[in-house]
Amino acid sequence: MVSSNHFSPPSVTIFLSQFGGPADRGSCLSRAALSAQYAAVPLLRNILWLTLAAWLAVGCATTKVEPVAVTEVALPESKPFAVSSQTVDTNALLAVPPSAVARPPTPTNPPSPNLQSAIRNLQSPVAPSTAWVPLANWCVANNLGQPQKIGANQFAAATRGGALVVQAGSQVARWEGTQLWLGYAPRVSKGQALLHWLDIQKTLDPLLHRSAPAPKPGRVLVLDAGHGGADSGTHGTARQLEKHFTLDWALRAEPLLRSNGWTVFLTRTVDQDVPLTNRLALADRVGADLFLSLHFNGLAAQARHSGIETFCLTPAGMPSSVTRGYEDDPRQEFPNNAYDRENLQVAFRLHREVLTATRAADGAVRRARFMGVLRGQRRPAVLIEGGFLSNPEEARRISTAAYRQKLAEALARALP
C-alpha cells in the first residue's frame, strides 16, 4: 500500500534532488533560528513566529530527499511502420496527452536549463494523429493475422501466445487473457483501431517479443518486504498488518528463489524500519540484477475492491495508469526507465503467476511514476500488491499461511 516509506513525495523530490536537498533543509533551520530573535517582542508576535518555526521544522522533518537523477526525455527510436498515408513524426511521439496539457504540473522550484529546454520541445505544437499507428500495421510488421472487430469499438489480434484485445476509449487492454493498462486509450479511424506509438514500442513490442528468462550464473535478486517497524503499511483488522505479511511472503520466497539459482538479499528479515534510501542502496551495493518489492493493498473507502495489482515504472512520454494524487509528469525520465522493456516483461510474468496461484481478481499490470522504490533502480524493478487487506474476505485469505505460501511459490515459478 502507498506509504511515505516506499513512495516518494510529489514534485518536491525531483527538484530537491536537482537543486540540493540539504540546502533546503538548512534554510528551514535558519528560518526557525531567526524566530528566536523575536523573543523580546510582544506576546502575539512571539506566538506567530513560534507557530511558523514549528510548522517549518515539521516540514523539514517529513521531507524525504530521494537522490534520484532526472534527465531530459530522449526521443524514442523511429521504427519502420507505415501510418496510413503519413510517416511517423517522432516529435509527436512525446506529445503531452490532453489531460496533462489541461493540468500542467506546478513545480515548487524552477526546472534546470536542461529540463526547461525539454519542456519547450514537448510543448511545441504537433499533429496528434501522427502519433497513432493502425493496429493492422503492427500485425503485418510482426507476421500476425489481421485484427478482427469483435464488438463495439473492440478489436482482437492473435499473438503467438493468445489474443491482444483493445477497446477504443479504454486504457485497459487484455494480453493473453491478462489485463494491462496502456498509456493511451486506443482510437478508431475509418473502422480501424489505432494505438499510440509509445504503446506499440513500450507495451506491445516487449510483450510480443519476450522470451523465456535465461538463468545466468550468479544472478542477484533483492527481495523487498514492504514497510516494517513503525511503518505498518495498510491493515485489515488491528492484527492484520501489511508489514507482517510482506515479511512472511519474502521469507517464504527466499529459499525457493535461492534453490532456483538466485542469490537473494532481503531488505529486512525482521520487523524493523528500513528507509527507502537503504532499500535502493542495498540493491546498488550487491549489484542486483532484479529488484522485487512486495506489498498488500488497501482502499478503506472501497472494502469490496480486491485482486492483484502489479506495477512497474511508467515510460517517459506516457501518462501513468495510477497517480494516487501525486504529480505525474510524462516529460520526466528516471534511471529505471533504461529498463522499460524488462520491467514490463518481468511484471507481466510475475502478475500472471500470482493470479494463477491465488485465483484472485485480475487488478492488471499497471504503470506508475511516483513509486520511489522503483524509479531510482538501476536494474529491472517491479512492485506487486498481493491482495487487498481492506477487503475482509481477501484479508482473511492473506492472513493464512497457505495463501502466502502460494504467493511465494508463484514468485519462484515466475523467476525460474
In a 10 Å sphere around its CB, with 0-12 CB exposed, 13-18 middle and 19+ buried, how is residue 187 labelled?
middle
Q: Measured from the CB of residue 253, what is the shortest distance to Zn ion in angstroms?
A: 16
Count CB atoms within 10 A of the CB of residue 198. 25
Determine the Cα–Cα distance for residues 351 and 365; give it in Å rounded to an integer: 7
Of 64 and 295, the one with the shorter C-beta distance to Zn ion is 295
Number of residues counted as binding Zn ion (CB under 5 A):
4
21 binds Zn ion, rule: CB under 5 A = no
Q: Residue 193 or residue 347: which is nearer to Zn ion going by CB? A: 347
Our CB check for Zn ion shows the closer of 93 and 347 to be 347
In 214-315 the beta strands, taken as DSSP E runs, fall at: 220-225, 263-266, 290-297, 308-313
User: CA-CA distance, 334 to 374, in Å (whole number)?
Assistant: 9
Cα distances (angstroms) measured from residue 151 to each of 100, 173, 200, 250: 30, 14, 22, 42
Closer to Zn ion by Cβ: residue 111 or 233: 233
| 372 lines the binding site for Zn ion (CB under 5 A) | no
Q: Which amino acid is at 17?
A: S
Distances (CA, A) of 253 to 294, 308, 358, 382: 11, 17, 15, 15
Closest to Zn ion by CB, 111 vs 226, is 226
Residue 10 CB, shortest distance to Zn ion, in Å, is 18
User: Residue 1 or residue 198: which is nearer to Zn ion going by CB?
Assistant: 1
Residue with cell 536537498: 21
Q: Which residue type occupies 36?
A: A
Binding flag, residue 363, Zn ion (CB under 5 A):
no
Mark residues 275-304: x for contact with Zn ion by CB under 5 A, - for none. Answer: --------------------x---------
Min dist CB 26 to Zn ion, Å, is 32
- Between 192 and 323, CB nearer to Zn ion: 323
Beta bridge partners of 224: 293
Residue 396: all three cell numbers together: 482473511
- Shortest distance, CB of residue 231 to Zn ion, whole angstroms? 9
φ/ψ of 235, rounded to 5, equals: -155, 160
User: Could you tell me which residues are beta bridge partners of residue 388?
Assistant: 297
Q: Minimum Å distance from CB 1 to Zn ion? A: 4
The residue number whose beta carbon is nearest to Zn ion equals 295
Residue 157: which of 136, 172, 173, 133 has the closest Cα? 136
Binding mask 184-223 for Zn ion (x = CB under 5 A): ----------------------------------------
User: CA quadruple 108, 113, 117, 120: dihedral positive or negative?
Assistant: positive
In the set 9, 226, 228, 386, which binds Zn ion (CB under 5 A)?
226
Closer residue to Zn ion, CB minimum distance, 232 or 260: 232
Which 3 state secondary structure label does DSSP give 246?
helix
Closest distance of CB 239 from Zn ion, Å: 17
Binding positions for Zn ion, 230-249, rule CB under 5 A? 233
Name the site residues for Zn ion (rule: CB under 5 A).
1, 226, 233, 295
